[in-house]
Amino acid sequence: MKRDYLAVTDFTTREIDQVFQLCRAMKQKKIAPKPLEGKTVGCIFHKASLRTRISFEVGVAELGGRSLYITEKEIELGVRESIYDAAKVLSRYLALITIRTFSHDDVVQLAQHADVPVINALTDLLHPCQILGDAFTIIEKKDKLDGIRLAYLGDGNNVANSLMNLARRYSVNLVIGTSKETMPDATLLKAAQNEGPGSVSVVYDAKEAVSGADVIYTDVWASMGQKHEAAEKAKLLGDFQVNDNLLKLAKPDCIVMHCLPAVRNAEITDSVMDGPNSVVFEQAENRLHIQKAIMLALLDEDIWKRK
């Protein structure tokens, strides 16, 4: 049966470890598989993107295939025709579909009806490719995920939600520092807290959140589709800015992460983003390697059976 990657929790811990292995091998150029030779991947983007779109298109080319960039204007998914019909037709042309859109339910529906793998390239709810790439970056820097104290500061958005999902696969100690008005998704928070193996707590004080952290992570205060709320969010989240004073409270070798794009000197200061603890551009690079590994794993079912 075909597999999809819509959420970090679509893969078991063992499967994610296998994806990391593939990612490492391709990054180090030990393997250069071409599972997409003669095949086309559809990249449906209903929101702007620099990293995700370009790393997917480059990744597809490096895996031997070609990509098609498809915007809302052309296909009007769910408007011009049903998602079911679109999924059935697209499956007859494409080997794989990546989609970035607003509604997570639309992506679930597309995956349900498509006969080829679907990858979530970001929805309002989740950003699973980002978080798997980030987890790989943490392992590169800290040699492990288990036991890592990860402080996420800012809006309880798709990135925060996917970090909570990561805590359902690894023993990450995630502390989310945010305001009461900008909480992450309540259902996913409960699931992460109930299931483990990691822990997730929410605190309303930035200093408490970053104290003793191995990793500090932040993201824009107003995500795509919410830019009209930017002023309001800035008021609510101003105290959660990642700056030099806050960084002093974390472990000295703490790494600072941001999925980008950043609003410099809002959620993160220039001095931290350009400082020695920052790994933001390594994160961006790893998007390419991890997405190649995710595509490879979804295209070759035998990969899951390997030891």
Residues between 257 and 286 with contacts to ligand CP, criterion CB under 6 A: 259-261
- Residue 92 is among the residues annotated as catalytic for this protein: no
> Catalytic: which of 104, 127, 149, 258?
127
Listed residue (181, 182, 152) closest to 166, CA to CA: 152
| Choice between 33 and 128, CB closer to ligand CP | 128
Active-site residue among 168, 259, 283, 291?
A: 259
Active site residue 283: no
Assess contact for 192 and 168: CB atoms under 8 A: yes
Q: Which is nearer to ligand CP, 222 or 303 (CB)?
A: 222
By beta-carbon proximity to ligand CP, the closer residue of 50 and 89 is 50
- Contact status, residue 262 vs residue 268, Cβ threshold 8 Å: yes
158 binds, among ligand NVA, ligand CP, none (CB under 5 to 8 A by kind): ligand NVA
List phi, psi (to 5°) of 255. -100, 150
Q: Catalytic pick from 18, 109, 130, 283?
A: 130
Q: How far is the CB of 268 from ligand CP (least distance, A)?
A: 14
CB atoms < 10 A from the CB of 101, how many?
22
130 binds ligand CP (CB under 6 A): yes
Phi-psi region of 76 (alpha: psi -120 to 50; beta: other; left: phi over 0): left
Both tokens assigned to 28: 């180090």
Catalytic residue among 51, 287, 289, 291: 287
Q: Are 267 and 167 in contact (CB under 8 A)?
A: no
Which residues here bind ligand NVA, judged by CB under 6 A? Answer: 122, 127, 157-159, 219-220, 223-224, 259
Of 305, 300, 286, 293, which is closest to residue 131 (Cα–Cα)? 286
Q: How far is the CB of 23 from ligand NVA (least distance, A)?
A: 19
Phi-psi sector, 224: left (phi>0), alpha (psi -120 to 50), beta: beta
CB nearer to ligand NVA: give 70 or 220.
220
- 100 is a catalytic site residue: yes
Residues with catalytic function: 100, 127, 130, 219, 259, 287
